[in-house]
Structure 1
């Protein structure tokens, strides 16, 4: 017996697709945490070293790396990026007419 697999196109935000509140904020936090995790790996920091650089507890580093972000604000994630030597710039611009809804996203270089 073959079962049909239903596929649904993503909106580009998995949190919105799941119907979660504050989906834009959740996506931004996840993208920032991913960038921080990559920087920790690139700088070859162990959790204790990362905690010292970021000014947080090692348990918080573990939570951050594993995507447990409820105790992190977007601003605290910005501070972590700054501590890792990354500039954070915020651009506000008019949304294109081709999109019905404005969005918030992280663009990393």
Structure 2
């Protein structure tokens, strides 16, 4: 029983820390929305998009912890990263060159 309580407490602390980071991102960017994606054994990615178009990612050790974090932060969560939500992301020259990679003379993805 003590082991389960210890694991739950650790998960709650991690969720609280992620929620704090989500809230800080949201405050810094005039609000934010997000999407949680399962990454397999690595856990879950919380993609964040600020109202100003800036974006970022956080990784939680489990999908359940990611869900707790977004609930604690009050983040609006989308099922998918497409459509109007994806259109809010502003990308700069660096992102375009990284996405293009060596195909159009951008930096290699190595």
TM-score by length of 1: 0.31
The structure with the largest strand share of the pair is 2
Greater relative contact order (Cα < 8 A, sep 6+): 1
The structure with the largest helix share of the pair is 2
